[in-house]
């Protein structure tokens, strides 16, 4: 019986939210032609990339202060939208671009399909611009006339870290 209870405790520990899950923060949200676009940050995290068939772990760098994520969802059903090209640019108050990169398409057991990367962003005020390219996928009729052109979402944030 004690072994069974110990195993139950281990399963509960393994299923409990990680520290990165508990520290997620929503920065902003907007909609475009029925798509909900949500900007979320969490602590920097390691993730696995496949370049061709070769796996490569990306470890957070010491200067990384957040894991920036863009969630694209159908505004009506909540289903996540894959296969888009997503680019993020952070500009400081002096107009200097401090981060400008394409987001990695990602899958996560806890976050689902999203786009993200680790970002080295010092505390301060920024303009965040997210450009979303049309999803490159075969479409059923309900999506035939939506998301055909790139969309740009811009918002101001104040980053104070975690």
pLDDT in tens, 56-106: 999 999 999 999 999 999 999 999 999 999 999 999 999 999 999 999 999
Q: Which pair of tokens denotes residue 53?
A: 């068939």
Q: What is the DSSP string of 59-111?
A: PPPTT--EEEEEEEEETTT--B--S--EEEEEEETTS-EEEEEEPEEE--TTT
The one-character DSSP state at 161 is: -
Residue 70 to residues 53, 84, 113, Cα–Cα distance (Å) = 25, 11, 10
How large is the average pLDDT for residues 131-159? 95
Structural domains in the chain plus CATH codes: 18-159 (2.60.40.2480)
Predicted confidence at residue 22, as pLDDT, reads 52
Residue 8 to residues 4, 12, 110, Cα–Cα distance (Å) = 6, 6, 21
State the pLDDT confidence band at 1, using cuts at 50, 70 and 90. Answer: very low
d(CA 104, CA 113): 11
| Owner of token pair 């996928």 | 137
């Amino acid at each position: 019986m004690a072994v069974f209870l110990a195993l139950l405790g281990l399963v509960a520990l393994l299923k409990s939210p990680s520290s990165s899950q508990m520290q997620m923060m929503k920065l902003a949200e907007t909609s475009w032609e029925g798509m909900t676009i949500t900007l979320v940050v969490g602590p920097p995290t390691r993730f696995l990339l496949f370049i061709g068939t070769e796996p490569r772990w990306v470890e957070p760098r010491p200067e990384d202060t957040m894991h920036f994520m863009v969630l694209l969802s159908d505004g009506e059903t909540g289903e996540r939208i894959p296969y888009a090209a997503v680019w993020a640019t952070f500009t400081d108050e002096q107009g200097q671009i401090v981060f400008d990169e394409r987001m990695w398409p990602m899958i996560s057991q806890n976050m689902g399909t999203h786009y993200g990367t680790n970002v080295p962003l010092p505390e301060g005020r920024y303009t965040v611009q997210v450009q979303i390219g049309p999803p490159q996928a075969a479409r059923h009729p309900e999506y035939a006339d939506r998301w055909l052109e790139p969309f740009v979402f811009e918002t101001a944030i104040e980053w104070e870290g975690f």
